[in-house]
A and B are shown apart, each in its own frame.
Chain A
């Protein structure tokens, strides 16, 4: 049995891991966005995520109480210690793929943050309230693109549908409660993710319909991210993200 502090630490790390990995992915659009405005949007999103990751990690480090800091948690842990969803580590692909990934994750994240705003852990609640305001903007933007591409040209529709279909298998994991999630639900720290599924499905279905896209039907869902068992993409991402601190430990600007 782990103590409450250990559980809280694990729970915060997951939140930070999702945010930092997605922030790193989105930052990769800089210099190759389909147009200048979208490049700025992706950079803005990335900045929000990295900022949120810092808040989750700082609190995690404080809760852990072993003298680690946010940078060590981000840059000096190995892949197996990252407990982010498989969804967020999936590559950017074409713009439709990025939009599909953002849409699936952010609609979930918004619901999660709104629930976390009422967390029994006040330090987590205040981060969630702040982050939720930012994610509202993301969700709105992503939804607009999903509809524009889905209900656009034949080519954009084809690409959007294919991205929505390809990433569908990574959505199930978000709603499967494991030991840490159940601890969070019982202690009032966070929602039981399974309970967010109905609202999420409704939101997804409404938007897909609006975008003239069909709802994917596959039932098989990939999982493992929350347990540290990742797809091949995470290793490459971490190699890139952690290179500097690994090569020059403790380097600062």
Chain B
């Protein structure tokens, strides 16, 4: 991935779009999430390439609209977005900063290295409670309030919490 900006204007657009909060997990910005893939400026036409997270995630369209709106408010009136499927978004695209914020928010960040089948199939995966750090946790459901999370419970402090699934 090439994240180096080509010019100051593209850099500025990247910052504005990158600072928009994710609609479903507002502690994360789009930049933390790793979904802003490209910015190009041609005359006054701006194109922002955005990677969808889960195929059917309703947040995808909301994110695209918020990028357009936010840029318009900053004086860019000719903005369009395009979906970037390659390389596919995985949870490895979430930044270190984003992982820290997730944990502070009470969502256990995804196991690193989503490409490994071990992680994908949760084999030998120890999910520690984000509140008391205990390893004695049980999965309540593989699926949760959004496509990207599973539901867990801590057996020590009884905290119910969510785990950001590996993709």
B-binding residues in A (CB < 8 A): 23, 37, 40-41, 43-44, 46-52, 54-55, 122, 126-127, 129-131, 133-134, 136-137, 140-141
Q: How far is the CA of A134 from the CA of B167 in the complex (A)?
A: 7
Chain B interface, DSSP helix/strand/loop, else mixed: loop
Chain B residues with Cβ below 8 Å from A54 are 55-56
Chain B residues with Cβ below 8 Å from A134 are 54-55, 167
Pick the residue among B55, B89, B90, B143 that contacts A52 (CB under 8 A).
Answer: B55
**B55 with A40: CB separation less than 8 A:** no
Q: Which residue of A lies closest to B114 (CB)?
A: A133
**A127 with B85: CB separation less than 8 A:** yes
**A37 with B151: CB separation less than 8 A:** yes
**A41 with B142: CB separation less than 8 A:** yes
Q: Which residue of A lies closest to B58 (CB)?
A: A47
Pick the residue among A41, A51, A136 that contacts B55 (CB under 8 A).
Answer: A51
**A131 with B55: CB separation less than 8 A:** yes
Q: How many residues of B contact A (CB 8 A)?
A: 23
Chain B residues with Cβ below 8 Å from A50 are 56
Instruction: Name 15 extra pairs, CB < 8 A, besides A129-B86, A140-B142.
Output: A37-B142, A37-B143, A41-B143, A43-B143, A47-B57, A47-B58, A48-B54, A48-B55, A50-B56, A51-B52, A51-B55, A130-B55, A134-B55, A136-B120, A137-B142
Given known A47-B54, A48-B54, A49-B56, contact A40–B144 (CB-CB < 8 A): yes
**A130 with B56: CB separation less than 8 A:** no
